[in-house]
Structure 1
Amino acid sequence: MGRNTRKRRTPLATKAIAASAALALGGGGLIWANFYASAHESNYSAQNQTKAAAAQVATISCPDVGQKLTNVPNAARNGVAAELANLDKQITEAYARLASTRQAQTNDASFVQNAIVNPLKSKRAATIDRIRIDIQRVGGQFNNALSQLAACTTQTANQTNAGGQANTGQAQTGGQAQTGGQANNGGQQQNGGQAQNVGGQAGNGPVAADFVDITKVAANVQGKPQNGGNASTGTFTTRCGVNANKNHNTDNVIVAPGVANGAHHLHDYVGNQKVNAFSSNNTFLQAGTSCQNQNDLSSYYWPVVRVQDGTQDFDQNADGGGKEGNVGKILTPVQAQIKYVGSPASKVVAMPQFLRIITGDAKTTTNGLANANAHWSCTGFENKVQLTGQYPICPQGSKVVRTFAFQSCWDGQNIDSANHRTHVAFADPASGVCGNGFKAIPQLTMRLVYNITPPTIQNGQVKNAYAVDGFPEQLHKPATDHDDFISVTKNNLANKIANCINNGQRCA
């Protein structure tokens, strides 16, 4: 299947990205820190100013190895996944070192390169070589060009805006028009005031530029393709709750099976109640479910949203939580609507058992927006405005809404792929047709609604921000929002869903 077809999004996603600017795949990251020398230094000379300028903003961008691994033999996938998780861990550790050595960076312009970037390259090179060994050991072919992805690069403030989340096409008010990384969130300075962070309670976002008053944004939602004569027009709704029982963990069994804290951020789980890094297909079948339909054992999970108003939660000092920059009170959705819909162009085939789908990209700050599929809006605005690169500030009485429309075309053979993307695809946004032999499957859609006190922008700083959990180096950018799904059903439910949709019924 062609590359462009695989990456196509719905018209909604495409338009949202254009107006406002993808699951975690291992091995890529962006490390950001903002520094300046203290004006209170006793020896604040021209030499010190030169050093401070050199260290003012240090950004380390690492290529995402996981995105490039499109052909890994099944026998090597668990080993490769573990090594990709090691790459993520290495970036997390480097980010922590970057954040804790601000004074050293102010004093030595070469510190980041010598003490952080070069050691990181050596670790990554060894890990990528272990990936090569894992693949070749079982007879697979390894692209030696991947070895060149070990090196990370540094950038300064004028070379990046903390992830490229451009604000094209959106009106901004109240001091929001500034690049990421320039806002210091209300007294969050550390190390004697010698370091300026990039927003948020943990110093890694969000910043004022990550928010926009939704009432100031022009309508950007396009219409859907018209239904053809063979369209499948039914819907199937499954009611699985909002994770009121607080089933959380920081694993990701799709991307990092067997690796604790493989996500480096916290997930809400609804549906299947036995999902963690060590779960298997047999585990899924033996688990209970939060869904009213007990035949729906599927796992639906997404990164939590937190409000950063100075509050803390249970994981303030835990991996994947406060130790990795994910801080604040965890918000439980007030609604979580899960619905399967049909294709405007054809009938659908039933989803295969254990199909895995990741929609969006947890690393858009590193990878760019090619696989982004985040949609942020407010109640009362969903049919008019959808945002990818900014969080909405909703008017009083309106709630924050996250929506996801998953890939709805399947290759007809594989329940997963090496990079967790190429076995599924988006339909053509204009016609709704699946390309190159892919089959239409019921499209999973999700709508999560939150009660959030609107943040405010004061003097270029965001107060009472909210943000989606993410990898610490991704700076809590809204475009990193993503959603994960594993299809697990029993008693012929998968066929019942497809038949309902194909017959034009409304089922629940």
Structure 2
Amino acid sequence: MARSKPMTLAVAAVAVIVVVASAVAYARSDTDQYVTELDQALTEPSVPNVVIRCGTNEDRHLNADNPVVSPGIPFGAHHTHEYVGNKSADAQSTNVSLAAAATTCEKDDQSTYYWPVLRLTDGAGPDAHAEGGGVHGNVGEVLKPKSVEIRYEASPVSTVLPMPRFLRMITGDPSAFTNNYGPKVRAQWGCSDKPGRYTTKYPLCGSATTLRGYDFASCWDGNNTDSASHRTHVVFPLAGGACPPRTFPIPRLRVTVGYDVPEGRPFAIDSFPEELRDPATDHAMFINVMPDALMKELVGHLNSAR
């Protein structure tokens, strides 16, 4: 279990994507998925936030399971996920097992936060013949994250309610390519030297850190910790930040992962085989296993700092 440290209260930005004109026309090919232009911008109204430190998966907790979308099905993800937080998260996880497990997060946050691994694709990895790896078309050396930030943000227009324990969420579209890049796409790729700029393509950041951002929905239906689609029980706010009717604002989770990608080497995320490792398929999952007292403390910080 990670050693407990005080939560960090700071002022940060609510990230609202505003697409600006791109001068690049993208064809569907491996080489055209890598770009130097970051063609989306973020507007950033300031709101209070709390950062939970969970490390960078130093213990290398990896598996091809998905306890949110495919519970009970080993290798159900058909690609490999990287985890921080709950040390036990896998296909067999239950609320009881998650609540009994150790965690890499401070303040005994037993939540699990996870996303597809990033690989260098010009060589073989140790799972070249394994489920989730080469068996499903995901080859290459898995890159370890340089940084992972878990941040909870206040609503820009109201106070927030506590998340219910064992709330499950997914953000992004793991089938973006076969879905023809529909409205569920939320991939945010960026470079540390170009703050506020993003793309749904793989960015060529040179010596700068390559960033992946995941924004989760923050308007809860008030009743359910999951839904059949894993999406309808928590939805995104309307323009301006207010929640739709019959939903209630909860803390907005944003996860940002950084990588030192060797300059000039090709890289790609894991995906379903039919998604061809398309960068727009980037996505992340979350199960809230914070103790109720910690969630209450977090919400108190967010609301009192408004």
Paired position in structure 2 for 1:338: 150
Paired position in structure 1 for 2:9: none
Paired position in structure 1 for 2:304: 503
Paired position in structure 2 for 1:376: 189
Paired position in structure 1 for 2:257: 448
Report the Cα offset of residue 292 of structure 1. Answer: 2.1
Does the 8 Å contact 1:409/1:441 carry over to 2? Answer: yes
Q: CA separation in 1, counterparts of 2:238 and 2:66?
A: 29
Paired position in structure 1 for 2:271: 470
Q: Deviations over 1:139-162 (max 9, x none)?
A: xxxxxxxxxxxxxxxxxxxxxxxx
Does the 8 Å contact 1:407/1:427 carry over to 2? Answer: yes
Letter in 2 for 1:180: R
Q: CA separation in 2, counterparts of 1:482 and 1:503?
A: 31
Paired position in structure 1 for 2:52: 238
Secondary structure class of the residue paired with 2:115: strand
Paired position in structure 1 for 2:119: 306
Does the 8 Å contact 1:348/1:440 carry over to 2? Answer: yes
Secondary structure class of the residue paired with 1:221: strand
Q: CA separation in 1, counterparts of 2:169 and 2:126?
A: 29
Paired position in structure 2 for 1:489: 290
Q: CA separation in 2, counterparts of 1:222 and 1:274?
A: 35
Does the 8 Å contact 2:15/2:43 carry over to 1? Answer: no
Report the Cα offset of residue 412 of structure 1. Answer: 0.7
Letter in 1 for 2:236: F
Correspondence 1:75-224 to 2 at 5 A: 169-171=22-24, 179-181=27-29, 207-214=30-37, 217=38, 220-224=40-44
Does the 8 Å contact 2:26/2:33 carry over to 1? Answer: no
2:211 is aligned with 1:410: no
Q: CA separation in 2, counterparts of 1:441 and 1:286?
A: 25
Does the 8 Å contact 1:234/1:503 carry over to 2? Answer: no
Classify 1:319/1:223 alpha carbon distance in 2 versus 1 (closer, same or farther; 3 Å): same
Q: Deviations over 1:252-277 (max 9, x none)?
A: 11111111111000011110011111
Correspondence 1:34-53 to 2 at 5 A: none
Does the 8 Å contact 1:305/1:331 carry over to 2? Answer: yes
Report the Cα offset of residue 10 of structure 1. Answer: 6.0
Q: CA separation in 1, counterparts of 2:190 and 2:43?
A: 17
Letter in 1 for 2:193: G
User: Which one of the candidate residues 228, 238, 254 is aligned to 1:428?
Assistant: 238
Secondary structure class of the residue paired with 1:315: coil
Does the 8 Å contact 1:10/1:427 carry over to 2? Answer: no
Report the Cα offset of residue 222 of structure 1. Answer: 4.0
Q: CA separation in 1, counterparts of 2:263 and 2:231?
A: 35
Does the 8 Å contact 1:369/1:479 carry over to 2? Answer: no
In structure 1, the gaps of 5 or more residues are: 1-8, 20-168, 172-176, 182-206, 228-232, 456-463
Aligned length: 292
Q: CA separation in 1, counterparts of 2:16 and 2:209?
A: 24
Paired position in structure 2 for 1:325: 137
Please state which structure has a larger fraction of its residues in helix. Answer: 1
Letter in 2 for 1:242: T
Does the 8 Å contact 2:88/2:98 carry over to 1? Answer: yes
Correspondence 1:253-272 to 2 at 5 A: 253-272=67-86
Correspondence 1:271-286 to 2 at 5 A: 271-286=85-100
Report the Cα offset of residue 491 of structure 1. Answer: 5.3
Paired position in structure 2 for 1:399: 209
Does the 8 Å contact 1:300/1:486 carry over to 2? Answer: yes
Percent identity among equivalent residues? 39
Secondary structure class of the residue paired with 1:365: coil
Q: Deviations over 1:443-466 (max 9, x none)?
A: 1111111000233xxxxxxxx310
Q: CA separation in 2, counterparts of 1:362 and 1:222?
A: 22
Q: CA separation in 1, counterparts of 2:28 and 2:237?
A: 33
Does the 8 Å contact 2:49/2:152 carry over to 1? Answer: yes
Q: CA separation in 1, counterparts of 2:42 and 2:261?
A: 27
Report the Cα offset of residue 224 of structure 1. Answer: 3.7
Secondary structure class of the residue paired with 1:337: strand
Paired position in structure 1 for 2:172: 360
Classify 1:468/1:170 alpha carbon distance in 2 versus 1 (closer, same or farther; 3 Å): farther
Letter in 2 for 1:408: S
Letter in 2 for 1:223: T
Letter in 1 for 2:27: T
Secondary structure class of the residue paired with 2:178: helix
Between structure 1 and structure 2, the one with the greater Rg is 1
Report the Cα offset of residue 244 of structure 1. Answer: 1.4
Q: CA separation in 2, counterparts of 1:364 and 1:437?
A: 29
Does the 8 Å contact 2:36/2:205 carry over to 1? Answer: yes
Does the 8 Å contact 2:213/2:256 carry over to 1? Answer: yes
Normalised by the size of structure 2, how large is the TM-score?
Answer: 0.91
Please state which structure has a larger fraction of its residues in strand. Answer: 2
Does the 8 Å contact 2:176/2:280 carry over to 1? Answer: yes
In structure 2, the gaps of 5 or more residues are: 1-13
Does the 8 Å contact 2:15/2:42 carry over to 1? Answer: no
Does the 8 Å contact 1:249/1:276 carry over to 2? Answer: yes
Secondary structure class of the residue paired with 2:106: coil
Does the 8 Å contact 2:82/2:114 carry over to 1? Answer: yes
